Amino acid sequence: MGNDLDGFKKVKILDAPCGAGKTSYAIQYMNEEIDENTKVFYVTPYLDEVNRIKLSCPKMDFKDPPKKFEVVDDFKSQKSKSAGLLELVLRGENICTTHSLLGKVSERVIEALRAQHYILILDEVFTVVEELAQKTTSGTIEDKREEKFRTWEIIEHLKADGVVEKMEDATGLLTWNDERASETRADIRAFQEISSLIKRELLYQINDKIIFWTFPIELFRDIFVESFILTFQFDAQLQKSYYDFFGLQYEYYHPVLDKNTGKYNLVKTENRDYEIEWIKKIRERIVINEDEKLNRIGDYWYDINGNLRDYNLSKSWYENNADGKSNIITNSLRKSLDNFFNNQAHDKRSSKRMWTTFKNFRKYFRGSRAGERNFLSIGTRATNMYGHKTVLAYLINRFHNPDILQFFSARDIRVPVDEYALSDIIQWMFRSNLSIERDQEIDVFREWKIEDNGDKVAVTERIKVEPETVEIYIPSYRMRKILKDYFWFDKQGEN
């Protein structure tokens, strides 16, 4: 596909393994290289990381929009973090905030950013494409957001009136017809949010079945003076496919520590040799449970046509096996999990455990030996609050939502499947003790607390940790194979 964004600055992808110094380089860059005329917009997944960046870069005097910020605009009082973000941008403040707030960025904030002189530093990829509504094969409508939004109903109503039109190309971009809107005198105020998204060309309807929202691409294209994405295995991420979908240019870099000066240098990536060194170092600390009985529930099988199937423990597997008296999740998987933690793990202390499953099925493990406080969601990134955990259980066979694959196929964009699964499990594992490279003190997670302003914050305790061997139970045959093929790439015949 031709690139329709030539002439714009390339996004710099700082793609390097966990613990390679990406965040350390970003902190060094902000402390030593940013001049007073350039402002920084730093975005990270969690509030605790916002606080860490603020403490690490005191001269930046970072601001984060308060939850109950109030601004008067057009005679209306607005109380929200989004309103607070707009005010901070208009004042030209250095901003450090979370992914969730960036995902809600308004058109007014984007235009305000365009008028300033900001650099974007995005710590880890985030949600850039999301399914909003779907018409199922039975004809029922599933709205992925709150029911009050009635996304599908509103769009079909506006299409019937000719106010909204769908592009004839494969992408299904929804467009707004101002002339028709005036003719029909449609009460656009009743559909303000949806009409705004369509006017900004952020909504797509694929095969008249699924409606997708996309993050405004101009934020990466021409709003910032420079943009950095700190991540690992970017090629496996949906954000990479999203960039390809819109023809956005990007280039790869990685930080290299100068042992003489103790400073990081940013090097353009020509090959992945540095990753090979990291793999060989890390694999010495990983022990994968290979117990045949414990892993049987995640084995592959052959269908009647002789085709290999390895979907056990996928999300659809959970959905198909969650109900009825023969509930395999509680009767088999949960028992295997308890067996691993109680009898086979090298360290049987509950405080050392960390586990995950799909969020909607977490309830089936309540009362198990896994422990509610030891649960860590898949997709968790950019935190070392679980750096004391050494006994892990990954009860998932990770696949993309097939609807998302359909969205990208509209422009023949390949979305990696196994690479995505590998990236997810590595990122999750590296929230554990694998992220610890030397004896050090860290703030470890104890529990969640809701503050007076409504923010959910982690209650932590500072403890000393040291690098240890990490044992992991991965009952999915496919996920074990993907992980072993990566870490023991040169010894596959021995595994």
Examine the pLDDT at 299 and tell me if it is beyond 60.
yes
Residue 338 CA neighbour count, 13 Å, CB half: 13
Tell me which residue has tokens 């060094």. Answer: 28
Interval 384-440: pLDDT, tens: 889 999 999 999 999 998 888 989 988 899 899 999 999 999 999 999 999 988 888
The pTM for the full model equals 0.88
Give the β-pairing of 391-394 and 353-356. Answer: parallel
pLDDT of residue 447: 77
Among the residue ranges 212-216, 405-409, 490-494, the one predicted with the least confidence is 490-494
Helix (H, G, I), strand (E, B) or coil at 71: strand
Residue 266 to residue 382: CA distance in whole angstroms? 20
Instruction: Quote the tokens at residue 377.
Output: 């969601």
Interval 103-129: pLDDT, tens: 888 889 999 999 998 999 999 999 999
Choose among 60, 110, 125: nearest CA to 221: 110
Interval 140-164: pLDDT, tens: 677 766 554 578 888 888 888 888 9
pLDDT of residue 5: 39
Examine the pLDDT at 296 and tell me if it is beyond 90.
yes
pLDDT of residue 149: 57
pLDDT of residue 190: 57
Report, as an integer, the average pLDDT of 162-188. Answer: 81
Res. 4 pLDDT band, cuts 50 70 90: very low
Interval 313-337: pLDDT, tens: 999 999 988 876 557 888 899 999 9
What's the mean per-residue pLDDT of the chain?
Answer: 86
